[in-house]
Amino acid sequence: MVQLKVLLVDDEKEFVTTLAERLELRGMDVDIATDGEMALGLVETDPPQVVVLDVMMPGLGGMEVLERIKAVDSSIQVILLTGHGGTKDGIKGMQLGAFDYLIKPVDIDELIEKLNEAAKNGL
Amino acid sequence: MALNLKNWFNIKERLQRFLEVEYTEDRYHNLRRNIRILMIALTIIPLVLMALINYHQYQSSLKEEIVSPTKLLANKTTHSFHFYLKERLSLIKSISYFYSRDQLCDEKTLNHILYTLKKEFVGFVDLGLINGDDGTQICYAGPYKLLGKNYATQSWFHEVTLKGTYISDVFLGYRKFPHIAIAVQRLEADGQSWIVRTTIDTTMFDNLIAAMGLDSESDAFILNKDGVFQTNSRLYGKVLEHCPIQIPSGGYATYVVEKKDPNGIDVFLAYAHLTYPEYTLVIVKPHSAVLKAWYALKSDLVVVFLVSLALILIVVFRLTDILVSRIREADQRRELAFRELQHSHKLSSIGRLAAGVAHEVNNPLAIINEKAGLIQDLIQFSPDFAQKEKFSTLVRSILQSVSRCRTITHRLLGFAKRMEIEVENLDLNELIQEVLGFLEREALYRNIDITVNLAKDLPRIDSDRGQLQQVFLNILNNAVAAVKDEGRIAITTWEKDADTVAASIEDDGCGMSEETCRYIFEPFFTTKKEKGTGLGLSITYGIVQKLGGDIEVKSTENQGTKFIISLPKKSK
């Protein structure tokens, strides 16, 4: 089975590193970015299959990052992750080409399932 | 001017204070009373004033109208009397000049003169010549035997020798017939004097009074200066009797006074004094005869006044009722609108607050979740170690708590998110049956009798299934909580009108007070103390409103509660 390459983008460092470790434990190749700029840099230098993107971030917001990722490579799948319940963001994200959106805190098994689905979708 | 303006403002203020009533239960009652008093005062006072002014004006002008013809009549008749008596006096005077004493001493001549007088003038009875010195009648023509009679001791003889002429009051002559006597003295150049005397009956007096043409209720008569009747009075006595009415003496004009006559009747009294002889003509007209027209007018006036009064009262009362009920309705509508607005404001601000809190809590919660998850992973992927099982249990407990927290934050987010509706065509009856499925077990266990009365052919509606499920579940849960064991719950659906279907959920549980009823849709209002969040019914209310429907509640304490939910057939 091909190793799934994932990029986690969230300004909460504690959250993102821990989640990365857990995914790696489950055999995934995980990169971390703590802001939008960094994420876009990584997308260009080392493009992942799936990006898990926090919507609310200081500086470059999730929606803009999503747009720019899609502009770089539309085959990269993006799963939006939000602490906010507003489905408006969800709908807007989906319109911009996001694969799905999840609300924090997220169950690890649910996330893995979504990642696999997204990866399949990206092929 | 400044002072006037100040006064005006004072009045305005006072009026406002009068109409402003305190905010109490019977404020509308007071308002209605005050408006009525004000309106009645403002309309009735001018009406009464106008009626009184009219009354007095009519009365005085009418009286004037009655008084002046009577005055005129009295004047005319007085003149006639005056003229009549003066004419007779002149006639006798002329005879005394035309004939010498010797001629008049001849009985034949005297008889001839009397004959001529009787023929040409009315009322002459006899004619006599009297010696001016000793008062003996020296010649007489007439029906009585009066020749040689001496008048020296009689008062009229003295008066005629003193004044030259004399007109007597009425007296009863030998034939018991009312007469007056007229005497004239003639002084000769040689110093001798003689007197011509005649008696005249008073038929002419009666004729003159009859000529006034008075109506049957009125009366007219002549009095002498002592108040003795000189003519018959129809109402107050016969000739030579004393008149019971006191007539004021003095004055030469015609006077009209109002008096009570001896019979107690209100009369107009018109009188005029003759200068010579001192007679008084009196006309008596009772009020009732004179004022007939006035009484008719007065009763008309009273009727008009009473009718206007009744009309004013009816209009004022009806108008005030309408006015006050309009004000009350407007107040109620305003209060309701204000409450609804407040409610929706509260809902939306709570929605924002909930979303904010949930978001802030979700981030740290996500970190806890991942950290604990990682610990669990690490435990799982590492070989057995001391107390591995214990660690595993602890971490699972943390994760369970996180999961519980997540449920809460997601629910809070959901509360904020209620705005979104997924519309589908659904059968309300079917939806209620589904919801009832959730409650079946508890109902069975507590022996609650659930009566379902669903309308057949209930039209399908366009609405949000999930949201409606929540609405009905919420209300049914409340109903189940409200009833005692073996209580009753009835569910009914019907087609309310062309655009609306409705469902009612009625229980015979503990019910609510009016106060509670007013607040049950408010967020955080709860009667369940620690058990409830106070969000259930406010969410329900929000959903129904969003779906374009309406929810109302009727409740009586200790008797039960009824919720009625109306939903549009087509979503807006």
CB count within 10 Å of CB A117 equals 15
Q: How confident is the model at residue B298 (pLDDT cuts 50, 70, 90)?
A: confident
Q: What does the pLDDT read at residue A12?
A: 87
Count contacts between A and B (CB, < 8 Å). 70
Q: What does the pLDDT read at residue B374?
A: 92
Residue with the larger pLDDT of the pair B314 and B410: B314
Chain centroid, CA B211 distance in Å: 53
Chain centroid, CA B233 distance in Å: 51
Residues B75-80, mean pLDDT to the nearest whole number: 92
Q: What does the pLDDT read at residue B29?
A: 86
Q: How confident is the model at residue B469 (pLDDT cuts 50, 70, 90)?
A: confident
Q: What does the pLDDT read at residue B534?
A: 60
Residues B197-222, mean pLDDT to the nearest whole number: 89
Specify the long-range contacts of residues B109-115, CB closer than 8 Å, at least 24 apart: B110/B139, B110/B140, B110/B141, B111/B141, B113/B141, B114/B141, B114/B142
Q: What does the pLDDT read at residue B532?
A: 55
Per-residue DSSP letters for B504-566?
Answer: EEEE-S----HHHHHHTTSTT--SSGGG--S-HHHHHHHHHHHTT-EEEEEEETTTEEEEEEE
Q: What does the pLDDT read at residue A107?
A: 87
Torsion of CA B16, B18, B22, B23, to 10 degrees: -60
B382 contacts in chain A (CB < 8 Å): none
Q: How confident is the model at residue B345 (pLDDT cuts 50, 70, 90)?
A: low
Q: What does the pLDDT read at residue B189?
A: 81
Give residues with Cβ within 8 angstroms of B208, minimum separation 6: B77, B80, B81, B84
Q: What does the pLDDT read at residue A33?
A: 93
Judged by average pLDDT, the poorest of B333-342, B420-429, B521-530, B557-566 is: B521-530
Q: The complex's ipTM?
A: 0.85
Q: What does the pLDDT read at residue B547?
A: 84
Q: How confident is the model at residue A23 (pLDDT cuts 50, 70, 90)?
A: very high
Residues B442-450, mean pLDDT to the nearest whole number: 85
Q: What does the pLDDT read at residue A29?
A: 92
Q: How confident is the model at residue B5 (pLDDT cuts 50, 70, 90)?
A: low
Q: What is the pLDDT of residues A68-88, one digit of tens each?
A: 999 888 889 999 888 765 566
How far apart (Å, rounded) are the C-alpha atoms in residues A91 and B503?
34
Per-residue pLDDT for A40 more than 80? yes
Q: How confident is the model at residue B564 (pLDDT cuts 50, 70, 90)?
A: very high
Looking at the partner chain, which of A25, A56, A85 has a beta carbon nearest the beta carbon of B417? Answer: A85
* pTM over the 0.80 mark: no
Mean pLDDT for chain B overall: 85
How far apart (Å, rounded) are the C-alpha atoms in residues A17 and A30?
10
Annotate B61-113 with three-state secondary structure. Answer: HHHHHHHHHHHHHHHHHHHHHHHHHHHHHHHHHHHHHHCCHHHHHCHHHHHHH
Closest chain B C-alpha to A85 CA, distance in angstroms: 5
Q: What does the pLDDT read at residue B79?
A: 92
Query: Strand (E) positions, B150-265?
Result: 165-167, 171-172, 178-187, 193-201, 219-223, 254-260
Per-residue pLDDT for B160 more than 80? yes
Q: What is the pLDDT of residues B384-407, one digit of tens each?
A: 888 888 999 999 999 999 988 888
CB B371 to CB A25 under 8 A?
no
Closest chain B C-alpha to A57 CA, distance in angstroms: 12
CB count within 10 Å of CB B464 equals 20
Closest chain B C-alpha to A19 CA, distance in angstroms: 6
Q: What does the pLDDT read at residue B155?
A: 87
Of B415, B363, B372, the C-alpha closest to B391 is B372
Residues 408-427 on B with a CB inside 8 Å of A are 410, 412-414, 416-417, 420
Per-residue pLDDT for B276 more than 90? no
Of B552, B559, B536, the C-alpha closest to B484 is B559
Residues A19-41, mean pLDDT to the nearest whole number: 91
Choose from B16-25, B194-203, B283-292 the range with maximum mean pLDDT: B194-203
**Buried b or exposed e, range B519-543, using 16+ CB within 10 angstroms:** bbbbbeebbeeeeeeebbbbbbbbb
Q: What is the DSSP letter of A28?
A: -
Q: What does the pLDDT read at residue B49?
A: 92
Q: What does the pLDDT read at residue B24?
A: 58
**CB-facing half-sphere around the CA of A96: CA atoms within 13 A:** 22
Give residues with Cβ within 8 angstroms of A4, minimum separation 6: A28, A29, A49, A50, A115, A116, A119
How far apart (Å, rounded) are the C-alpha atoms in residues A118 and A102?
13
Residues A59-70, mean pLDDT to the nearest whole number: 88
Looking at the partner chain, which of A12, A19, A21 has a beta carbon nearest the beta carbon of B363? Answer: A12
Please say whether the beta carbons of B186 and B97 come within 8 A. yes
Per-residue pLDDT for B503 more than 90? yes
Q: In chain A, which residues touch B (CB < 8 A)?
A: 12, 14-15, 18-19, 21-22, 25, 56, 83-87, 103-106, 108
Beta partners for residue B554, in sequence order: B562
Which residue of A10, A16, A84, A92 to mutate against B (max B Cβ within 10 Å)?
A84
Q: What does the pLDDT read at residue B18?
A: 67
The SS3 call for residue B38 is: helix
